[in-house]
Amino acid sequence: STDQRRPKMRIPKALRTAIRTRLMTDTRPLTTKQITESVNPVVTKSNQRTSREMAFVLKQMAREGDLIIAKETKNGLTPSGNERSRVEYVLNFETVDPDIVEESQ
């Protein structure tokens, strides 16, 4: 029998850091597209991701506890009949080193 579980994807440290930095500077929940557009210019070519690829990276980071899903909006069905949703992410501040985070208010 074949194992159907996905292997754990290793997220490059530079990409993970860029995503966390972006979410730290913006307090609003961000969509995958917004995160992708702001992270791609600051990471190396090999770490750049399309919005679709970034969605997988963000889901993985949410599973690991780095991110929190702030808002999930259902928006129709995929051609295969699965429900589609738009997800917005925020940083999970419990996992961030408190020395790095500074209050911006």
SS3 content of the chain, % helix, strand, coil (to 5): 40, 20, 35
Element at 63 (helix H, strand E): helix 51-64
Per-residue pLDDT of the chain (105 residues; tens, 9 = 90+): 445 565 667 899 999 999 999 999 988 999 999 999 999 999 999 999 999 999 999 999 999 999 999 999 998 998 999 998 899 999 988 755 544 444 433
User: Which pLDDT score, from 0 to 100, does residue 55 have?
Assistant: 94
User: Which pLDDT score, from 0 to 100, does residue 18 have?
Assistant: 95
User: Which pLDDT score, from 0 to 100, does residue 4 have?
Assistant: 56
User: Which pLDDT score, from 0 to 100, does residue 96 have?
Assistant: 52
Give residues with Cβ within 8 angstroms of 69, minimum separation 6: 62, 87, 88, 89
Distances in whole angstroms, Cα of residue 72 to Cα of each of 34, 52, 98: 15, 16, 27
